[in-house]
Structures are given as C-alpha cells and as structure tokens.
Chains A and B, each alone.
Chain A
Amino acid sequence: MTDNTSSTPFVEGRAEQRLNGAIARFNRWPAALRTVLVVASCVLGALLLLGIISAPLDLYSQCLFAGVCFLAVLVLRKIPGRLAILALVVLSLVASLRYMFWRLTSTLGFETWIDMFFGYGLVAAEFYALIVLIFGYVQTAWPLRRTPVWLKTEPEEWPTVDVFIPTYNEALSIVKLTIFAAQAMDWPKDKLRVHVLDDGRRDDFRDFCRKVGVNYIRRDNNFHAKAGNLNEALKVTDGEYIALFDADHVPTRSFLQVSLGWFLKDPKLAMLQTPHFFFSPDPFEKNLDTFRAVPNEGELFYGLVQDGNDLWNATFFCGSCAVIRRKPLLEIGGVAVETVTEDAHTALKLNRLGYNTAYLAIPQAAGLATESLSRHINQRIRWARGMAQIFRTDNPLLGKGLKWGQRICYANAMLHFFYGLPRLVFLTAPLAYLVFGAEIFHASALMIVAYVLPHLVHSSLTNSRIQGRFRHSFWNEVYETVLAWYILPPVLVALVNPKAGGFNVTDKGGIIDKQFFDWKLARPYLVLLTVNLIGLGFGIHQLIWGDESTAVTVAINLTWTLYNLIITSAAVAVASEARQVRSEPRVSAKLPVSIICADGRVLEGTTQDFSQNGFGLMLSDGHSITQGERVRLVLSRNGQDSLFDARVVFSKGAQIGAQFEPLSLRQQSELVRLTFSRADTWAASWGAGQPDTPLAALREVGSIGIGGLFTLGRATLHELRLALSRTPTKPLDTLMDKP
C-alpha cells in the first residue's frame, strides 16, 4: 500500500487551464454585466433546450437524431477534461428530457384501471429517477478538488483543539488504537486535548484513560445517543476547535496539520470534513470478494459527491474524521438532536446560518467497515430514516439562508434515500406486461426503444465518465437492490410521522466463524428472483406460442427481465456471508522492519500486514525463522529505532507471522505511531482504483450473479438434506465454499 507511487496528484490538462483562465477573466468583468450575461445565456439556453426536447419527430428521424447524439458521445467520452463532461451532461439531459416529454405527452392514454395503476406507477418512478439524475449532474459535474492550506505560523500560535472520541459499546482493544493515535497527532501538546466520551460508562475505559493521560467524560444518561454525548462534552471543554473521531476511526499523525489550515484562511468556515476510509472490507466487498478491486458503496460519496457538494458550499458533516469550529457550533445550539442523522442536519443548520463547510479529499483517518450485511443494512436504515426526517422537518428546499446550489445538493442527498420504492418498481415493472398483460406504455414498441434507449445509454455513459473511478456501472443497481426493501418502510414512516420509532433487522453480530447463507435477510431478493423467473417463463411462452404482432414488445420486456435477474442474483450473492476469521483490524502495508533473532542474526524484512497484535512479514531472500522462536522487531522512524518483543507463530519459507509479547503502554503507543498513524498509508490507496468500463462491469456483475445462483442452489440443497435426514452431516462451511 505504501509503496504505491503510481498515482499522481491531479494535474490539469491544457484545455482545462484555458477554461479556468477564461472563467477568471470573466470574473473580472463588472458585476452588473456578468449578471446580465448569465441571465441572458440562461434564458437563451432554456429556450433552446425547450425547443429541442419538445420537437416532435417520427420514428425514423428520432432514430437518426439518437444515432448522431450517440456518435457524439463516443467521441466526447474519450476527451479528457471538464468541458467534455459538461458536453456529455448536456447531451444526456437532452436525451432524457426528450424521453420524459414524449413519455408524458404521448404514452399515457391508458384504457383500463389496471393499465393506469401500473402505468402511472412506472411514470412516477421514472420521474423520480430523472430528478435524481439531474440533481446528481448538478452535484457532481464539477468537483471542487480543494487542496490543503498549510499552517504558516509557529506552533506556539496554533489554536487549541479538543479531540472527541465518542464511544458506546466498542471494545477497548479497538478504541485504544484511536486514543493512542489521537494522542500522537503532530500538534503542540499543551494545545491538544483528547477526550473519551464514554456513553457505555465502563470502568476499564476510565482506568485506561487515566493511565495514558487522556480526559475521560461520562454522563449519567444516554439521551439523544451520540449527538447528546457530544453536546455534554461541549459543556465541559473549551478548545477553539473540535476534532471528532468515531471510536473505531484511527487518525493519522498529520490529520490536524492537514485539516486546520483552511480554518485560519477562511474565518467563516465552520466545518471541514475528510473522507471515511476503511481498512477492512465492507460486507459487499467481503462477500463478493471485490475488496480494493471494485469501488465500494462509500467511495462514490467521499470520492465525488462530497467534492461536488464542496463547489456549492454544501459539504455535509459525516459525524467522524472532521473538524468543527466551536463558536458556530454553539450558535446553532450544539450538534442537532432532532433527527437520527445528527451530522448532516448539523451541517445544514450551519449552512443556513451563513457559515461555510468544506471537504478535503485526503484520507487522514481510517476505520473498520461494518462486519456483516445485517449491520450494514441497519446503518443504512438509520441514514435513510434520518435523511427522510430532515426532509420532512427541515426541508432544505424551503426555509431561509441557503443558496439554490446548496438546496439542490442537500435535497438530492435526501431524495437519494427514497430510492426504495422506485427501485422495486423497476425490478418488477416488466412483469406487469408479461404476467398481467397490462399495457403500461401506450406506444409502439419501436418508438419506445427509439426514445428510451438514448435516455438510458446517455445517462449511464455520462455517469460512467463522471463517476468512473468511484463507482462502476451497474453497481449502483446492485447496492440499491440489496437495500431497497429495507429502507422503504423507515423512509415512508419518517415522511408520515418523523418521530416514529426505530427499524432494525436482527443482528448476527461480531465474528462470522462459518460461512453461511443469511436466509432471513435474503428473503426480499429471493422473492424478486422468483417473480422475475416467473416473468421470464411467461415471456418465453408468449414469444413461442403467443401473437406474432406483440413479439417485439415481449422481447423488450424479456430483456428488461433478464437484466433484473442479473442484478437480483448479484444481490443474492451478497447475502452469502463469507467467513471472517480475524477479529482485530489488520492492515496490509509494506513497511521495512529488521528482525533480531534469538541467536543474534539480524534479518531484513518487509511487513505484509500489521495489526496491534502482530505483523505478517516477508523476510529478505533465503532466510527463515522457525516457528516458536522469540524475536525482536525493529521499526524505525527518523533514524530512531523502536523494539518490540514478539514470537514467531507462523513460518512458511520467507513468510512469517509474528505475534507481540505483552507490550507496555509506551510500546503500544509507539507501535500505533509507527503503523496506524503513518501519514501516507491511506492516502496512497485513495482513488487508485480501476476506472470504469461499462462492458467489463456488466460482465463482472453478471458473473457475480451466476455465482450467487450457484451459492443459492447449494444452500438450498444443504437445507433440503438437513430437513430430510434431520441429522447434521457436514459442517456448512465445506459445503458452501464458493465456486
């Protein structure tokens, strides 16, 4: 990880520089003239767009128009730079708006009630998707790409920082890392105060904090959960800035120096967020085996969306890995407690008061991803519910204090979580025709293709170009399909009654010692899979024995059903929980280390991975150490060596695993400073992923779907055998090994 030097800082191309130059020159013109020009060009553009999207064309001309646009896209997507992206967005908007205009004006002549029900349902879902698409373009077309500002003054003049580490039920062994790392941040010691906010009221935490010399804060209630916990701590501290880390987010030593500069430069800046980076795979990555190969669910948000938000001064606070200025936070009454997503709501309140928020896309902290699918789903349910609550109680489109760009960014972040129902509609819509014979499109099949295909192709190619490094094509559908069923009820309930209670799926918890298929969680996907299979059967039947005049319509619906089947079976694959053996955070990173053997040999090696309990090492050529031998590991920084006693617990050729003997607190702290809190480890693998190619992504999702079907088959066989014999035969994990 750390020796990855291939990724270079973002460099602007020549076209980009010319564009920036032109914008800078434009900004020097008189304000009045600029306003007139902007308004005039907006009106002109809107009229043009209106003309283009409403122009009626017959089948042949529409095909020709679509073909020309498509050719333009094929050329444009090869051109680097932001201008090409803007051009792609315009083409995509033309295709999609033309489609929607045509859809609303020419396809809604429904005849029966059943047609109307399915037809209007689908139109509503499509309308939602279009709004999110347009807002998404606004949000992401021009990421700000903020760079850090360095502190110019002497350390004696730097401001005081309170570090809050709220914890509730996380194990001390995990929180320890965060505490040591927070302590070790490069900041003057008299200006850095670390506070552990323990809502779990645990005595071992208190003792530990006393021994390592950090402040321990405990309150006598748990009102408002994390938000309340933070607000309590605000009352008993007085630093000028507050840095927040969740109990399992380990900051690097450079965190404060990288993130605080902007506050000194911009006095109106109230909050600066950095990415949440995870050194362990999330359930998707773990169960599908795509860790670091396919961008994960969070990467789109932290890689692109937040950077795009930043352009509009609408960066959200994400609860951790962020710095907040105390004064504005107190002005809005502390961290928001009205909703369950206190973080985003806090940022919204700050923005409403006219304060700025900023995003710095440099991972300067890393944490553990959720361990199991059920926990992951629970977390997303909370987000969805909280966002719906904000949308209902403090709607960003209404109210004072926001610019329209901020309104769109916030609204889109909330609307995004309403995808539950539309996604389920898209996953079942073709069945309306195939099974119930409902005419949900009142138009000829070829016309539909001529309009809908450009809409789909343009939007997915444009998004692939914008999001390429952070989200691969078709993965959005997979992520949404997995969560759709679960976030639908909380969102609907929160919209009706924002105060209504919690929704949690059962938690399998902790370490997954065996691979297993989560039948309970997979139920919605199995239902979707079954109904789509039934639809497929109906469709094939109609294709062979049905009326020839409807063959094209059937074929279109069949293709759609097939696509839905691929996405649904990929969702099924996610429900097959892979075994997770290690319970401690383990990070793969290559650091040089010397090994002093018991016989006095001194060997050179490189770490393969590290945790707080041991190292996986690769010795330099031709050396080996026998298992059980005691060694000392030497890590050095700035020419100073640190020693750690360890025992070799695994040895195979040049590969060894060394486990530390019990370390003193000083040694543990030293170890964290030399490993987890290194400044570059997380940044090195940031945005270094494979760019998207839509066809490869489809192949990938397809093969994962097939794998999911195989796993489902085996799990079913296994259940059947169990049910028949009623005697346990083989352990599940050997049966369930993935093909």
Chain B
Amino acid sequence: MSRADDISKLFNKLGANPSGYREIDFVHEFIEDDVEVLETPAVTQALPVIEAPSAPLLRLLEELSQGEADNLRPPEVMEGRDGEVYSEQSNPNVVVVVSVKGGVGRSTLTAAIASGLQRQGRPALALDLDPQNALRHHLCLGLDMPGVGAISLLNESWEALPERGFAGCRLVAFGSTGHEQQQSLNRWLGEDSEWLGKRLASLKLNGQDTVIIDVPAGNTVYLGQAMSVADAVLVVVQPDVASFSTLDQMDSVLAPYFTREKPPQRFYVINQLDAAHRFSLDMAEVFKTRLGAALLGTVHRDPAFSEAQAYGRDPLDPTVNSIGSQDVHALCRTLLERIDSDLP
C-alpha cells in the first residue's frame, strides 16, 4: 500500500486533491495488562518440529550423492530476445553488485536481477567475477562450465562463453580455477586496468543489454576491474547493525572509483528483510533515513528462493509469485528507471 491510500481513494471519490489532508502521527500511551502481554505467544516456539525429509527431498539428496542430478538442468530455457542490432554499436549498461561482507545474498540477488530484467524484456547478462564460481548455481546451469578464469589465462576470447539461463538471460561463469591460477589472475588484473573492458567488448553487446557483475565481498582486484566499467553500483545490505556499520567502510572502498569523469551511480538494496521481527523493520527504517533516494528497494527474506535453488527452479517463476520475487521485480523496475533516466 502506498502512502495513505485510503485517504487518496476517498479524495478521488470526492473529486478533491488529497494534498489537503493532514496526516497526524498517532502517539499514545496505553497501560497494558501484564497478563495480556504474557499471553501473547511467540511464533517461534511452535517451530521446532523435526520431520523426516519429504520424498522429493530424499530423491534430490540421493541424486546429489551420485554426482549428477538431471533436474539440475534448467527445466525450460526460453529463448529471450537477443536485443535489437543497432547500426551504431553502443555500450551495454553495467551494474556491479557489491557488499562489504559475504553472506548477504549477493549472488542470489545478482542472478535474480538478471532473470528479472530479462523477464521485463531487457536482455541481461550475468557475469561472475567471483572465484567461488557460485553464480552458475543460482541461474541453474550445468555443474561445470568453462569460465572467464581459465579462458582468460589462456588469453582466449570470451565470445563462446555465454550460456542461456533462467528466462533466457545469459550467464558468463567464472569457471573452476586452482589456487595458482587465481594468484596469477590477481597479479595480471592488478596490472592491466583495462582487462575487463577489453574482454566485455569481445562479447559484442549493445546498448540494449545490461551486464550484472557479481564480485567477491570486500576490496579485491575484481571489484576494481568491475568498477572501471560500471555505470551503476548496487550495494547489498542486510537490515542489521553489522551491515549499517559497514556503510562508511563501503564508501571509502568505492571512493576512488567516483573520481572519474563520469562516475557510476550508487544504489543500495536491503536484502532479507524479516517482516516478522520488529527490529528488522526498525533497522530498515534507519537505512531508509540514511540512504534516502539511493535506496532502490527492499527484498523480503523468502524461503522460496532457497527452495527454488535446491530444486533447480527459477525463483522468479510467475506461478510461484512469492513475496521475494515480487520484491525483485519491483527492484528491477526501479533500477531500469534510474539507469534509463541517466542516459544522455
């Protein structure tokens, strides 16, 4: 519900302008009965019921232990639009998804945004620049696919790398790499600041495309490479104090990249908001106050996402339409609006 939708509906009915209405904050003290409050049960107490794993879960576990699970292939891969070809080649929009600390759901969100953009008719390419090579799980492609790590060390083109994922969006994986390979990549990328720019150019993308880059948490050479081509950077935070205290740290990490002539836009997203906890909601309010318009959206904690990943389904599958997927769609819409409004 938007702000005071009941008031605007009433005013619409009266044919008047709702700006004439004054919202008055409700501040009131109640003397609560102690008994009454104690009676309020906590939902969590009802939770710990350990059940035997359900049949589909058992089957999945079995398949996983045997190595290959057929249903981990994308169940349906739609052919998305390739993007119209313009006579004049223009550069794709590049959005870098970053966070100071790990485990905030960055990869999940990167994959969801790629699939979400594609579903909204904007060709998207998800690029995994994290040596953990985890993004492929979220877009549900084969367990091992060649990626930018190994290919780049061989100095080969990326042209053959993109694979189709959910909703037809493309994925360029990092690929599995050994310790030594990662070290040499680190050295190389530290020296050649135009590494990513050149490689991206070889993918022959155009202005219709959006590249979503997943980088490791914290300040790494991958972040540096991604920021050098970024049009926008999306900082993922969680509605907790730890995340809030990292905001300044993030600013100082990103600061050097905002000195260039046309600095990228900086956006934030609150991930895994838990509507069941007052504190989580309050923290979200704190973030809203601090970040203002830079806060693009909020994504609720949604078990449907981990479920979808386990069963190899697209969490944005419209038949599921979970609250998280609605949030992601809203986020994608806002993101596109902001990026497009920034175009010359």
Is A280 interfacial (CB-CB < 8 Å)?
A: no
Q: Which chain B residues border A598 with CB–CB below 8 Å?
A: 43, 46-47
* Segment touching A, from B22-30, B81-89, B134-142: B22-30
List of B residues within 8 angstroms of A641 by Cβ: 275, 281
Contact of A643 with B41 in the complex, beta carbons under 8 Å: no
Query: What residues of chain B lie closer than 8 Å to A9, measured between beta carbons?
Result: 13-15
Query: B204 near A: Cβ within 8 Å?
Result: no
A673 and B4 CA atoms in complex are apart in Å by 12
Q: Which of A585-602 contact B (CB under 8 A)?
A: 592, 594, 596, 598-602
| Contact, CB under 8 Å: B275 / A662 | no
Indicate whether A449 reaches chain B with its CB closer than 8 angstroms. Answer: no
A636 to B23, CA, bound (A): 15
Interface-lining segment among B173-181, B214-222, B240-248, B317-325: B317-325
A683 touches B13 (CB 8 A): yes
The answer to whether B278 touches A643, judged by C-beta atoms less than 8 angstroms apart, is: yes
CB proximity of B319 to chain A, nearest CB, Å: 7
A630 CB contacts on chain B under 8 angstroms: 41, 43, 46
B9 / chain A contacts, CB cutoff of 8 Å: 2, 5, 679-680, 684
Chain B, residue nearest A678 (CB): B6
Q: How far is the CB of B286 from chain A (nearest CB, A)?
A: 13
Query: Does B323 lie within 8 Å of A594, measured CB to CB?
Result: yes
- A254-B21, A599-B303, A634-B275 as given contacts; A679 in contact with B6, CB under 8 Å: yes
Q: Which chain A positions have C-beta within 8 A of B276?
A: 596, 632, 634, 643
Q: In the bound complex, do residue B30 and residue A665 qualify as a contact, i.e. CB atoms below 8 Å apart? A: yes
Surface stretch bound by A, among B32-40, B56-64, B122-130, B155-163:
B32-40
The B interface is mostly helix, strand or loop, or mixed, namely loop
Closest to A256 in B: B24
Q: B31 — nearest CB in chain A belongs to which residue? A: A211
Taking a contact as CB atoms under 8 Å apart, the answer to whether A669 and B30 are in contact is yes
Contact B1 A183 (CB under 8 A): no
Complex: A598 Cα to B276 Cα, angstroms: 10
A639–B282 Cα distance when bound, in Å, is: 12
Could you tell me the distance between the alpha carbons of A665 and B33 in the complex, rounded to whole angstroms?
8
**Chain B nearest CB, measured from A455 CB (Å):** 39
Closest Cβ–Cβ distance, residue A687 to chain B (whole Å): 10
Query: Which A residues are in CB contact (< 8 Å) with B12?
Result: 5
The answer to whether residues A254 and B14 also contact, given A594-B323, A596-B275, A669-B30 and a CB cut-off of 8 A, is no
Assess whether B3 is interfacial by the CB under 8 Å rule.
yes
Instruction: Scan B272-302; emit 1 where CB is below 8 A from any A CB, else 0.
Output: 0001101001000100000000000000111
- Residues of chain B contacted by A621 (CB below 8 angstroms): 319, 321
Closest to A670 in B: B26
Q: Does A730 contact B (CB under 8 A)?
A: no
Q: Which residues of A contact B324 (CB under 8 A)?
A: 602
A300 at the interface (CB under 8 A from B): no
A683-B275 contact, Cβ under 8 Å, with A151-B22, A599-B47: no
Chain B neighbourhood of A155, CB < 8 A: 22, 24
CA distance A503 to B36 in the complex (A): 44
CA–CA, A266 and B7, complex, Å: 25
What B residues does A2 contact at CB under 8 A?
6, 9
- Residues of A with C-beta under 8 A to B29: 213
Q: Is the CB of A602 within 8 A of B13?
A: no
> Does the CB pair A645–B43 fall under 8 Å?
yes
A239 touches B (CB below 8 Å) = no
Q: Which of A2, A210, A679 has the most CB of B within 10 A?
A: A679
Contact B10 A679 (CB under 8 A): yes
Q: How far is the CB of A30 from chain B (nearest CB, A)?
A: 35
In chain A, what residue has the closest Cβ to B281? A641
Does A188 count as interface, using CB distance less than 8 angstroms?
yes
A679 touches B1 (CB 8 A): no
Residues of A within 8 A of B326 (CB): 604
Bound-state Cα–Cα, A183 to B6, Å: 18
Closest-CB distance, B277 to chain A (whole angstroms): 9
Q: Are B21 and A257 in contact (CB under 8 A)?
A: yes
B17 nearest CB neighbor, chain A only: A150
**Complex: how many Å from CA A601 to CA B6?**
28
Q: How long is the Cα–Cα vector from A147 to B6 in the complex, in angstroms? A: 18
Nearest-neighbor residue (CB-CB) of A362 within chain B: B14
Whether the pair A680, B30 counts as a contact (CB closer than 8 A) is: no
* Residue A19 at the chain B interface, CB threshold 8 Å: no
* Distance of A622 Cα from B4 Cα, bound (Å): 30
Residue numbers in A under 8 Å from B22 (CB-CB): 151, 155, 186, 257
A5 partner residues in chain B, CB cutoff 8 A: 9, 12
Interface string of A1-21 (1 = CB under 8 A from B): 010010111000000000000
Contact check, B3 vs A664: say whether CB atoms are below 8 A apart.
no
B253 on interface, CB distance cutoff 8 Å: no
Pair B3/A639 contact, Cβ less than 8 Å = yes
Asked whether B30 lies within 8 Å of A602 as measured between CB atoms, the reply is no
A178-225 interface (Cβ within 8 A of B): 183-184, 186-189, 210-213
- In the complex where A2-B6, A643-B278, A681-B6 touch, is A622 in contact with B323 (Cβ < 8 A)? no
Contacts of B20 in A (CB 8 A): 150-151
A337 in contact (CB, < 8 A): no
Query: CB-nearest residue of chain A relative to B322?
Result: A602
B24, A637: Cβ atoms closer than 8 Å: no
Closest chain-A Cβ to B321's Cβ sits at a distance in Å of 6
Contacts of B10 in A (CB 8 A): 254, 362, 679-680, 683
In chain A, what residue has the closest Cβ to B42? A645
A683 to chain B: which residues have CB within 8 Å?
Answer: 10, 13-14
State whether the Cβ of B304 lies closer than 8 Å to any Cβ in chain A: yes
State whether A150 and B16 are in contact (beta carbons under 8 Å apart), knowing that A211-B33, A213-B29, A594-B275 are contacts in the complex: yes
Complex CA–CA separation, A665 to B40 (angstroms): 12
Closest B residue to A592 by beta carbon equals: B1
A666 at the interface (CB under 8 A from B): yes
Contact with B along A448-467 (1 / 0, CB 8 A): 00000000000000000000
Interface residues of A (CB under 8 A from B): 2, 5, 7-9, 147-148, 150-151, 155, 183-184, 186-189, 210-213, 254, 257, 362, 592, 594, 596, 598-604, 620-622, 630-632, 634, 636-641, 643, 645, 661-666, 669, 673, 678-681, 683-684
Complex A-B, nearest 4 residue pairs according to Cβ-Cβ distance, in ascending order? A9-B15, A150-B20, A680-B9, A665-B30
Sampled A-B contacts (24; CB under 8 Å): A2-B9, A5-B12, A186-B22, A189-B28, A211-B30, A211-B33, A257-B22, A594-B275, A596-B43, A596-B275, A602-B301, A602-B323, A638-B4, A643-B275, A645-B40, A645-B41, A645-B43, A661-B40, A662-B36, A665-B31, A666-B30, A679-B7, A683-B10, A684-B9
**With contacts A598-B47, A637-B4, A641-B275 known, what are 11 further pairs, Cβ within 8 A?**
A7-B13, A189-B27, A212-B30, A212-B31, A598-B43, A602-B324, A634-B276, A661-B40, A664-B30, A679-B6, A683-B10
